[in-house]
Amino acid sequence: MPSIVRVQNLHKTYRLGRAKVPVLRGVDLDVEEGEWVGILGQSGSGKSTLLHLVGGLDRPDRESRASIEFDGANLGSMSRADLDRYRSRSVGFVFQFYHLLPEMRVLENVTVGSMIRHGRLGYRGETKHDVEQRAKEVLGVFGLGDRLRHRPNELSGGERQRVAIARALINRPRLLLADEPTGNLDRETGGTIIDAIAELRDRFGLTIVMVTHDQKIADRADRVVRLVDGRVEDAAPAFEG
Amino acid sequence: MYQAVLTRRYLTSKIMPLLAMAAVTLSVGTVLVTWSVMGGFLEQLVNAGRSLIGDAKITWPNTGFPYSDELIEMLEADDRVEAAAPLIETFGVINLPDDKVQGVQIQGIDPEQFLDVVGDGEGGGGFAESIWWRRIDKPVRLDKDAEDPRLDTLAPLGDSSWEELEQSGLTLTEPDGEAAAMLGVHVSGFNYRTPTGFYRPQPPIQATPDGGIRYLTNVWLPNDEITLHVMPLVAGGRGIDVTTRTIPVANEFFTGLFEIDSKVVMVRLDLLQRMLDMQESERIDPDSPRERFNPETGEIEQLEPRVIGVTPERVTTILIRGAKGVDADNELKPAVEELYAQFAARHPREVPPAGSILIRSWRELNATKIAAVEKETGLVLFVFGLVCFTTVFLVLAIFWSMVSEKTRDIGILRSMGASTAGVAWLWLRYGAIIGLVGGVLGLAMALLIVTNINEIHEWMGQNLGLVIWDPAVYLFVEIPTDLDPKKAGVVVGAAVLTCLLGAAIPAWRAGAMDPVKALRFE
């Protein structure tokens, strides 16, 4: 299978005042199309940072000559607008704390991703009704068909996370980036969320990169990559920033 | 699209933007009310005078000038002139039935010609409608209990009928043919203006010889008389003698222009001409002998002076009403100047030369007042504009705080692909909506206040003792308003712009946020 995501020599350093704090110290990672990769690591190991970089939310250290490719396209050579387009069309994010928009109802929280993708001039190639219908279908799969008009604060943690996953999938992305999706849920609810993700992967052929610090959850993935101190374990750093 | 949904949701779920909107509403309402009152004041100042003098005026004060009929004929033959009327303006003193003596401005008018010029002023007003004591069919605004004496079928006192009173006012003549005067409704002090806007006769008080006072309960001015004192003047302004005449009062008038209603007394032109020695008279040869010695009788005999002609009647003023659509300042006045020059050329040394006569439009006659109001309007709007500009900072502060509060939402939107411009537009749009909704609410508030401003003012006067609009200061007895749709558009547009300005910096900040930091914001 060809790699859909190829990360090479990824370095990322944050500044805390005058101090430089290296978070990623030369990560290499290949993810094949349709593969589910679990990124396992302790807190502060750079898991979320890796996800943000792959999702085009952040850029690697300039001097590191790092490369992040998605389907052969180098994210480093993309303009800001290209990265926005990449995030809206090819990537779906799921966060630990759900990150739903509190003022919007459930249905709106899901369709907002589609609104962003279509832009200010209205839906192109499909109608608002089509988008809402699709959102309702996904929410129906997650058992939230009767919660469309509820606000996030009227839902349980598990329900919120399912809404967040539905939102991530509304634009039919090829890559789902999940950052500790069960980290804020009890084990049982977390299990149902992972089941739902697994089902989606099977149904839509999604490529999944999931960050977790829970070995049991990581074990559900096709492959587990361990991040230790900003490096993929057992991988030699190519560049020291 | 997501901006529209979020704007709607933020508008209905947050209290802070509602406060910003309230500030915009108050600012827009305040500016519009101020502008409409000042604009209305200016408009009424310009138009009210026209209903009493027309559009322009030819004046040669004190001694006046002759051949006014000829001049009026010339004026009325011109397409740019609708009508013209002779007038005498002078100062005098009146004795009122309660023995009060009052200095007044006296106008001598030819009622028929006067009505041609100012009979139906702009907006349906005019001299005919300014006659106060006439029967009315429905109560004035706020006269809920229908207490206005003019609603009664009978005039308040005496035997006069409403029709006779109105006719007397229009002709300045009593039913028996006697020339009569008409006073501004505030001149005598015999009328009490009710808070609801009509006048009720108020018995005058007279001092008694023993030092006390008594109420003249049977005195109602239109049934009584006044004594008029005027001083004829010769060329150079020297007075000849005081002429006194006691005449009945035909009626009273109310123009709404306090300066006129409290100072002017109108009488017939011919009466005032006689009193001021300006009537048509024989011209005596100054060289003709007045007496001669009769050698037969040895006595000195008086001789009839030799009449060498007729001195025509004189007036001090010609009022002119321009034809419809003719601009008083730019078209009518030049036309009148041109016609007067022709008139003066026909009567050299008999009428004032064209370069000396005063020809003024209403606007020029009141240039000082109008300019003062215009300047004051500009100044007030500037000051209010500055005050309202603080809304920019209010919106900025509120939006800055909201952007901080919504930092994580911004990160979420960015993670879904929202562009920096898209996120900035969300806040700009939000600011514009607050400006628009606040502006429209402010406009509604202004409309509500402006249409009820006199009622509100009266209520404040009655309940709070707060009287802001003093007719003696502001000329008009009621607060005039003129809410121009263009002005409303400008102010609402300015409100939107103000909010956009206030929202610009927070919007830029939101757009420029690092999405990763925003997502991690707690």
Contacts of B340 (CB under 8 A, 6+ apart): B58, B71, B354, B357, B359
Is there a contact between B420 and A80 if contact means CB atoms under 8 Å apart? yes
Interface list for chain B against chain A, based on CB atoms closer than 8 Å? 1-3, 5-6, 9-10, 13, 408-409, 411-420, 422, 425, 514-516, 519
Residue B93: pLDDT band with limits 50, 70, 90: very high
> Rounded distance, CA A124 to CA A117, Å?
10
Q: What is the pLDDT at residue B359?
A: 93
Q: What's the rounded Cα separation, in Å, for the pair A164 and B268?
A: 91
pLDDT at B436 over 70: yes
**At B319, is the pLDDT very low, low, confident or very high (cuts 50, 70, 90)?**
very high
Distance CA B126, CA B131 (A): 9
The residue behind tokens 């749709």 is: B485
* Residue showing tokens 């990169």: A209
CA gap A21, A23 in Å, rounded:
6
Q: According to the model, what pLDDT value does residue A212 have?
A: 86
Q: How far is A89 from chain B (nearest CA, A)?
A: 8
Q: Is the dihedral of CA B172, B178, B179, B180 positive or negative?
A: negative
B110, amino acid identity: D
Beta-carbon count within 10 A of B446 CB: 27
**Cross-chain residue pair A87–B416, CB shorter than 8 Å:** yes
Residue B511 to chain A, least CA–CA distance (Å) = 12
For B419, which residue in chain A has the nearest alpha carbon? Answer: A84
What mean pLDDT is predicted for residues A105-124? 81
Q: In the prediction, which pLDDT does B120 show? A: 63
CB contact under 8 A, A112 and B2: yes
| Other Cβ atoms within 10 Å of B386 Cβ, number | 9
The owner of tokens 């052969």 is A72
pLDDT tens sequence across B103-146 = 999 999 998 888 888 876 444 457 778 889 998 888 876 677 88
Q: Is the separation of the CB atoms in B326 and B80 below 8 Å?
A: yes
**B412, B419, B425 ranked by CB distance to A81: nearest:** B419
Q: Does B2 sit within 8 Å of A115, measured CB to CB? A: yes
A240 to chain B, minimum CA–CA distance in Å? 23
From residue A89, alpha-carbon distances to A33, A78, A114, A200 in Å are 16, 14, 9, 17
How confident is residue A235, by pLDDT bands cut at 50, 70 and 90?
very low
Neighboring chain B residues of A84 at a CB cutoff of 8 Å: 414, 417-419
**Residue B83: strand, helix, or coil:** strand
What are B136-173's pLDDT values in tens digits? 888 876 677 888 888 888 777 766 788 888 989 989 99
- Stretch B507-514: mean pLDDT, rounded? 91
The listed range with the strongest mean pLDDT (A150-164, B4-18, B67-81) is: B67-81
> Which residue on chain B is closest to A179 by alpha carbon?
B519
Q: Kindly list the distances between the CA atom of residue B513 and the CA atoms of A102, B150, B269, in Å, as whole numbers in the listed order.
A: 20, 73, 83
Candidates A95, A104, A117; nearest CB to B417: A117
Q: How far apart are CA B273 and CA B231, in angstroms?
A: 11
Claim: this prediction has a pTM higher than 0.95: no
The pLDDT, as a whole number, for residue B67 is: 93
Output Rg (C-alpha) for chain A, integer angstroms.
18
From the number of C-beta atoms within 10 Å of its C-beta (0-12, 13-18, 19+), residue B337 rates as middle
List of chain A residues whose C-beta atoms are within 8 Å of the C-beta of residue B515: 57-58
- Cβ neighbours of residue A122 under 8 Å, at least 6 residues apart? B1
Whether residue A23 contacts residue A14, with contact meaning beta carbons closer than 8 Å, is answered with: yes
CB contact under 8 A, A103 and B13: yes
A194 vs B311: CA distance, rounded Å: 118
* HEC secondary structure over B58-116: EECCCCCEECHHHHHHHHHHCCCEEEEEEEEEEEEEEECCCCCEEEEEEEEECHHHHHH
> Distance between CA A103 and CA A150 in Å, rounded?
10
Percentage of chain B lying above the pLDDT 70 cut: 93
Select the residue of B9, B408, B419 nearest A84 (Cβ to Cβ): B419
Residue B38 and residue B376 in contact, taking contact as beta carbons nearer than 8 Å: yes
Q: Is A80 on the interface with B (CB under 8 A)?
A: yes
pLDDT confidence band for A1 (50 / 70 / 90)? low
d(CA B86, CA B90): 13
B317, containing H or E segment:
strand B317-322
Using the beta-carbon criterion (under 8 Å), do A120 and B425 form an inter-chain contact?
A: yes
**Range of lowest pLDDT (A201-210, B152-161, B180-189, B269-278):** B152-161
Beta carbons of A113 and B515 less than 8 Å apart: no
Q: Which residue of B has its CA nearest to A88?
A: B417
CA B302 to centroid of chain Cα atoms: 57
Nearest to B193 by CA among B132, B267, B137, B144: B132
Tell me the per-residue pLDDT of B185-242, one tens digit each, with 9 for 90 and over.
999 989 988 877 788 888 888 888 888 888 887 888 888 899 999 988 766 666 678 8
How close A112 gets to chain B, by Cα (Å)?
6
